[in-house]
Chain A
Amino acid sequence: MILQIENLHAKVGDKEILRGVNLELPLGQVHAIMGPNGSGKSTLAQVLAGREEYTVSGQVLFDGKDLLSLSAEERAFMGLFLAFQYPVELPGVGNLYFLRTALNSVRKHRGLDELDAVDFLAYAQKRMDLVEMDRSLMSRSVNEGFSGGEKKRNEILQLAILEPKLAILDETDSGLDIDALRAVAKAVNALRSPDRTLLLITHYQRLLDYIVPDQVHVMTEGRIVRSGGKDLALELEQHGYLADAKDHTLPVGGTR
């Protein structure tokens, strides 16, 4: 198991968002978490990545280590990656410089040599081709003025460059038209590997047509309420999330 989550709770102030999540992800598999707005999917992603605004309890083992005691950067060193739903714009920080700094920081902590600018460019170019990234975006500030699709592509490029053991993709499909979705899915599929686990977080079954998961989990009200094979996504698409959680009132709106 690359990730073992046991009874994970998370609160912001008095508001409890995660209410006892249990989940196990084996290495090399692709899992999807589906669920309505406000069910806690994005919070789970943020908590796993090390966001500090949450009060967290429970246990999470990542590659056998206690994840919750680590800082966000330490989690990245160990090989955890989050593709953001809303990638942040960083005016004044060059994209290529950012990617090289991140990779070298991670390599340093993994005991590898840092790459100089020339070696990095060769390393990055292969991965830029993989995600079909427009080269002109590399000399711009990180995500500044990027379209929705370009931002998501930039997230997948970072995934390709940092080579994590576990990548969480938070609504990578949102805001993408069908062509952009196909291109991003193609890149993600190319990054599947026996040494890497992917956790897809999505509202829609659509993404799972392109990136076929080994397992699908349903999250409502801060818990994983059902798990099954890839057909579960189809069933949810037809009957909705309520079919399995009739006795719960779904929160309206909620956090993203």
Chain B
Amino acid sequence: MSLNPGTGLGQMVVPEPDGQPAWLQQIRRHSIQWVAQHGFPGRDDEDWKYTRLGPLLAIPFEPARASLPTSMSFSALDSLVGNFGGPRLVFVNGFFNPEWSSLTQIPENLLVMALQTRLHQEEESNGRHLFPPPNNAFTALNSALTEDGAYIEVPANLRVTTPIHLVFVADAGADAPPLLANPRSVVIAGANSHITLVESYIGLSPRLSLTNAVTEVVLEQGAQVEHYTVQNESEDAIHLGLVEVHQQQDSRFYAHVVSLGSSLARHEVRVALAGEGAETQLQGLYMPRGKQHHSHVTTIDHQSPGCTSRELYKGVLEGHSRAVFKGQVIVRQGADRTDASQTNKNLLLSEGAEIDTRPQLEILADDVKCTHGAAVGQLDEDAVFYLRSRGIPDKAARDMLTYAFVTEMLESLTLPALRTLLEHSVARQLSRDATSP
């Protein structure tokens, strides 16, 4: 089967989904047809407008196969992605790697497993929880090709205190063609359950790779999910990520994304506030440098009354990097007493850096409190002079003020081990000589 449209990625030959449950085979075929019919997003697609996909689509990617990492050792893992003391699932090029994973310390009744295992247990598609209809070609591609990911099901009323860590390693062998990995994870948080999840994306080999990740999170009534994404792939990697969230009544979803790596990265969060009184908080920090491109796209869909959404994304851009923030807030008819706020602040450290920030509010209800604000600025030269006059050299003064700009985002990370890890990553990135192109 071929995807048909275009060259490169579009011409990729997709393996026949044999040996899989009939329902899954059907979804895979439908997904391939979806791509063939709709094609990949182009410049006329609002959500992708500022994300340069042209070069990506021309690359002849091949679906990855199960393999062991070649350019890193297991012992390096803790220092790269942190260790949060709970279960850790490691995926290499989208495939679950049992040797590197640790599935001990899982509380009774909590289901944590590789998606692959779950898919073969499942006689029928588990309603909307597995593989909902795609909204773009990359999600469809993921449905068509995904081999593995994490499957987590938290039973009602269970409060899991240690975080569950998902580690996605992109690691093509030295002679490998450009690899495409399609990890897919599903999290179902039962009524009044609590869970914390960390997704770390790393890549070490300098080979071109594309990670096309999809995570679905379902929060049943009163559930609380804290979700962290740390994208630190190698500088030649391309990263596309979607977190699709469905919230029922009185549930709370707290998401943080930190984007540091990749040549081209796009992180999308779509939240459906389907039940009354649900609350969502999205935070993001992106720090592209050199020629990196980081896009962050969010959609918060207030479908029910009395829901709250808070959104704060901050960017620090160096060199000739480019970033996009597009934040859509939809308040449906009848979603009264909606309380939504969105803020995007950007610090441009060089003249060559460029940011497109686009808040988009669509309000169809009357009794609504909605605020949004976007800011783009440079370092305050009066502040730089103040620090220099105290004997803090120019570069250190600028780093200090830049760090002060992002510190708010780091302080809001409630996992101490993750905060320490990211404080170091951010400080290291800032103190690197900023003279690169």
Contact = CB atoms under 8 A, between A and B. Distances in A.
Interface of B: 380, 382-383, 385-394, 396-397, 400-401, 403-405, 407-408
A50 B400 contact: no
B400 A93 contact: yes
B391 A76 contact: yes
B105 to A, nearest CB: 35
Given A88-B380, A88-B382, A88-B383, A72 B389 contact: yes
B408 A92 contact: yes
Interface string A79-104: 00110100110111100001001100
B396 A76 contact: no
**6 interchain residue pairs of minimum CB distance:** A92-B404, A76-B391, A102-B390, A106-B391, A72-B388, A88-B386
A101 B380 CA distance: 19
Contacts of B387: 90, 98, 102
Most buried by B among A73, A76, A101, A158: A73
A49 B389 CA distance: 7
Given A90-B383, A92-B407, A101 B392 contact: yes
A82 B390 CA distance: 8
Interface residues of A, number: 28
A165 to B, nearest CB: 13
Nearest to A91: B404
A50 B381 CA distance: 13
Interface string A96-126: 0010011001100100000000000000000
Contacts of A76: 388-391
Nearest to A78: B391
A152 to B, nearest CB: 14
Nearest to B383: A88
B407 A105 contact: no
A101 B400 CA distance: 10
A77 interface: yes
A162 B404 contact: no
Given A90-B404, A93-B400, 13 more contacts: A52-B385, A71-B394, A73-B391, A73-B393, A73-B397, A76-B391, A82-B389, A87-B386, A88-B382, A92-B405, A93-B401, A105-B391, A162-B391
Contacts of A206: none
B386 A84 contact: yes
B404 A73 contact: no
A158 B390 contact: yes
Chain B interface SS verdict (over half)? helix
28 contacts: A49-B389, A50-B385, A50-B388, A72-B388, A72-B389, A73-B388, A73-B391, A73-B392, A73-B393, A73-B397, A76-B388, A88-B380, A88-B382, A88-B383, A90-B383, A92-B405, A92-B408, A93-B404, A98-B387, A98-B390, A98-B400, A101-B392, A101-B400, A105-B392, A105-B393, A106-B391, A141-B404, A158-B390
B408 A73 contact: no
Contacts, number: 69
Nearest to B388: A72
A85 to B, nearest CB: 12
B166 to A, nearest CB: 31
A226 interface: no
A101 B387 CA distance: 10
A51 interface: yes
A75 B391 CA distance: 8
Contacts of B393: 73, 105
A49 B405 CA distance: 26
Contacts of A75: 389
B227 to A, nearest CB: 25
A75 B390 CA distance: 9
B410 to A, nearest CB: 10
Nearest to B400: A93
Contacts of B391: 73, 76-77, 102, 105-106, 109, 162
A162 B390 contact: yes
Contacts of A50: 385, 388-389
A79 B401 CA distance: 24
A47 to B, nearest CB: 12
Nearest to B405: A92
B408 to A, nearest CB: 7
Contacts of A101: 392, 396, 400
Contacts of A105: 390-393, 396
A87 B387 CA distance: 11
B401 A90 contact: yes
A49 B391 CA distance: 11
A143 to B, nearest CB: 9
A81 to B, nearest CB: 8
Contacts of A109: 391
A93 B403 CA distance: 8
A50 B382 CA distance: 12
A107 B387 CA distance: 15
B401 to A, nearest CB: 7
B237 to A, nearest CB: 31
Nearest to B382: A88
Contacts of A90: 383, 386-387, 401, 404
Contact of B392 (A81, A84, A102): A102
Interface in A114-170: 141, 158, 162
A109 B390 CA distance: 12
Nearest to B411: A92
A93 B400 CA distance: 7
A52 B388 CA distance: 11
Contacts of B388: 50, 71-73, 76
